[in-house]
Structure 1
C-alpha cells in the first residue's frame, strides 16, 4: 500500500471507529432479527459492537474497520458500515470525506447476511 492509500484507510477507519463507538457521525440500523431479541441481549450486542477492537490483517485487510463478525453471549452477529451520498440514494464516491459520505452501521444476526 502506498502512503496515500494507507492515509486514506486510516481516515476511513477513524471515522468508522467514531460511528461504531459513539453511534454518532452517521446512522445506526439494527435488523429485524436483532430487534426481536430480548432487550438485555440487544444492549449486550450494542455494547459489544461499540467496544470491538480485534481488528487484524485477516479480518480487516484494507484497514478501514468497516466490518466484523463476533459472538455476544452465544449470539453470532455481524456489523457492517456502508457509505452513501448525502441524499442516501447512491453509494458515496469518497468514504474518507465526512461531508460527502453518510455512514450507515448495520448490526445484524450473522444468519441474516
Structure 2
C-alpha cells in the first residue's frame, strides 16, 4: 500500500468506525435532531462515490452530499498529536490525530 492509499484507508476508517480520531458535528447538524444526526452519520460512513473530480488527491478526505434534504459537507483534517499543527506525516497514525468535521454546507 502506498502513502496515499494508507492515508485514504485511515480516513475511511475514521469516517466509517469513528475510531482512531475525533468526530465533530457542528451546531447546524446538532440542530437537526437525534434521528437526522444518525442519518447523517450513517450516510457519511457509507459514502463511497469518490472520483477524480471530488477527490483529486485520492485521500478520501472530503465530500459534499445530500442527506434528508440537507446539503452536508464532511472533511477529515490531520493534526499532530497535540492538535496544534498539521501532521508531519498523515500516513503515520503514531504522529497523527484525525478530526472528522461534519457540517451543513451553509456553515462552511
TM-score by length of 2: 0.97
1:107 equivalent in structure 2: 102
Counterpart CA distance in 2 for 1:89 and 1:61 is: 26
- SS at structure 1 position matched to 2:88: coil
Unaligned stretches of 5+ residues in structure 2: none
Aligned Cα RMSD in Å?
1.0
The runs of 4+ residues in structure 1 deviating greater than 6 Å are: none
Please, which of 29, 43, 46 is the counterpart of residue 34 of structure 1?
A: 29
Unaligned stretches of 5+ residues in structure 1: 1-5
2:20 equivalent in structure 1: 25
Matched, 1:53 2:48: yes
Please, which of 74, 77, 81 is the counterpart of residue 79 of structure 1?
A: 74
Q: Deviations over 1:55-98 (max 9, x none)?
A: 00110011000000000010000000001110111111111110
Q: Deviations over 1:29-70 (max 9, x none)?
A: 000111111211111001000100000011001100000000
CA shift at 1:17, angstroms? 0.4
